[in-house]
């Protein structure tokens, strides 16, 4: 096992730390973060870690020998969704603090993660300036690639990963990148072909994070989501995600993720279409006395069909189709109207007879689902160590932390390829 001292800057909830651990490293981390809730979660999950305060106050002379520096510096000024202030923005300039610490600590490896918009910020001048700063450190070889979380988990999240390393092992060392959609180190020619392809696989079972399609008529059961497309809507079926950010936008499209989530944001403006629970209550003779639909299951009993107990089923599309009526085009559907408050519970009836398919609900992704979409264990963000007192973390903060995090599975793939550097 490779043992390393890591300086984890802008550490969030420890995605870099956990990614390297999963790749087989023993990580001794010194972490820097200013968000008190993220600090609390990091302390709770990595109890042997050492908190070193704000990046502006960290000095290399106060640390032991550092082998690895990781940082996903604040990206709002580079983001395609932001004001695009680039390196002139107050938050993005914090990357210079990370570069200062690389110069002071001279780690064997550093890894930087940031948004795709960094490539195009100020017509590419910002990324060129960042590369110049890294090159000015001297003694490091640089590699970078745009990686997508969807190659590993069901979330479309494109991020730049840049690696700098100070030594090159001999033998058949091929470098860190490119990494292909399978997560394996690709042959450059094969990788170029992959980059030209518009299709993208999800290499993990998507039902772990989002409900999967159940078949049996699922193609005939849908919800129309208003969108700035030629049709004026996008179609969401069971297991698809729906993004309800910027509800008043006249130009927003791409609201529906087909079997995967879109990029997680700090406020989690994403929902998923799921079936309700069908319950049949029976009397002592097994006769059905009540039927109901619920968003959550009732009490699970050791036996069904007996007096007072309830048989419970997931409401599959075929069951719903048999109860509803068809529209003129032969399908059953609802139209989702995103109102001014951004709520998604306004359903507009579209059938002339006003008999609509109402056995489905649109619900927000849960914090656990967001954790899974970023590769964290369930409830990674549920508790925090606040100055020695372990307390629950609010859902608002849990969503924010997941949206700000790096994807653990992507970090693991990068960490696997760095092993020859640390073994050299």
- pLDDT averaged over the chain? 75
Most confident of 59-73, 235-249, 251-265, 325-339: 59-73
Global pTM value: 0.76
Cis omega (within 30 of 0) for bond into 178: yes
- Give 286-311 pLDDT, tens digit per residue: 676 666 666 555 555 545 445 555 56
pLDDT at 18: 98
Closest by Cα among 412, 391, 406 to 9: 406
Query: Could you tell me where the beta strands, DSSP code E, fall in 269-406?
Result: 270-275, 277-282, 288-294, 310-314, 332-337, 346-348, 360-364, 383-386, 389-392
pLDDT band at 233 (very low <50, low <70, confident <90, very high): confident
pLDDT of residue 94: 86
H-type alpha helices, 50-119: 95-105
Q: In angstroms, rounded to a whole number, what is the distance separating the alpha carbons of residues 260 and 58? A: 39
CA distances from 80 to 116, 362, 387 (A): 8, 27, 37
Name the token pair of 311.
Answer: 């048989």
pLDDT digits (tens, 9 = 90+) for 149-166: 999 999 999 999 999 998
Active site residues: 75
The domain locations on the chain are 2-203+377-423, 209-273+329-368
Grade residue 122 by pLDDT with cuts at 50, 70 and 90: confident
Q: Name the architecture of domain 2-203+377-423.
A: 3-Layer(aba) Sandwich (3.40)
Residue 44, Ramachandran bin (φ over 0: left; ψ between -120 and 50: alpha; else beta):
alpha
Q: What percent of the chain has pLDDT over 70?
A: 65
- Pick the residue with more confidence: 193 or 83? 83
């Amino acid at each position: 096992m490779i043992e390393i001292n890591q300086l984890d800057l802008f550490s969030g909830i420890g995605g870099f730390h956990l990614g390297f651990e999963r790749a087989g490293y023993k990580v001794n981390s010194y972490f820097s973060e200013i968000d008190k809730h993220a600090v609390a979660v990091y302390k709770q999950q990595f109890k042997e870690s050492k908190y070193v305060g704000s990046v502006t106050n960290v000095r290399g002379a106060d640390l032991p020998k550092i082998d690895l520096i990781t940082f996903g510096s604040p990206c709002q000024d580079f983001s395609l969704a932001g004001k695009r202030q680039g390196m002139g923005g107050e938050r993005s300039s914090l990357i210079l603090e990370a570069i200062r610490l690389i110069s002071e600590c001279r780690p064997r490896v550093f890894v930087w993660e940031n948004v795709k918009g960094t490539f195009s910020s100020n017509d590419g001048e910002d990324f060129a300036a960042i590369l110049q700063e890294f090159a000015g450190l001297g003694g490091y070889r640089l590699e970078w690639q745009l990686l997508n979380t969807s190659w590993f988990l069901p979330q479309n999240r494109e991020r730049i990963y840049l690696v700098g390393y100070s030594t090159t092992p001999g033998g058949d060392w091929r470098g860190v990148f490119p990494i292909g959609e399978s997560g394996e180190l690709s042959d450059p020619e094969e990788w170029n072909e992959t980059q030209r392809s518009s299709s993208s696989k999800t290499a993990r079972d998507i039902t772990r994070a989002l409900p999967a399609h159940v078949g049996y008529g699922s193609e005939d059961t849908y919800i129309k989501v208003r969108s700035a497309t030629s049709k004026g809507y996008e179609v969401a079926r069971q297991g698809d995600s729906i993004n309800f950010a910027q509800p008043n936008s006249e130009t927003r499209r791409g609201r529906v993720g087909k079997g995967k989530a879109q990029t997680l944001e700090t406020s989690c403006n994403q929902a998923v279409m799921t079936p309700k629970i069908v319950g049949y209550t029976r009397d002592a003779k097994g006769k059905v006395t009540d039927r109901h639909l619920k968003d959550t299951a009732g009490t699970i009993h050791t036996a069904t069909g007996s007096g007072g107990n309830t048989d419970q089923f997931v409401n599959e599309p075929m069951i719903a189709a048999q109860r509803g009526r068809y529209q003129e085009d032969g399908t059953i559907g609802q139209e989702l109207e995103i109102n001014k408050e951004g709520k998604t519970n306004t359903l507009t009836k579209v059938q002339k007879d006003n008999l609509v398919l109402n056995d489905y609900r649109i619900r927000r992704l849960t914090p656990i689902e967001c954790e899974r979409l970023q590769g964290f264990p369930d409830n990674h963000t549920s508790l925090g160590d606040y100055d020695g007192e372990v307390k629950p973390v609010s859902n608002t903060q849990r969503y924010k932390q997941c949206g700000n995090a790096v994807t653990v599975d992507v970090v693991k793939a990068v960490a696997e390829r760095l092993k020859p550097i640390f073994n050299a």
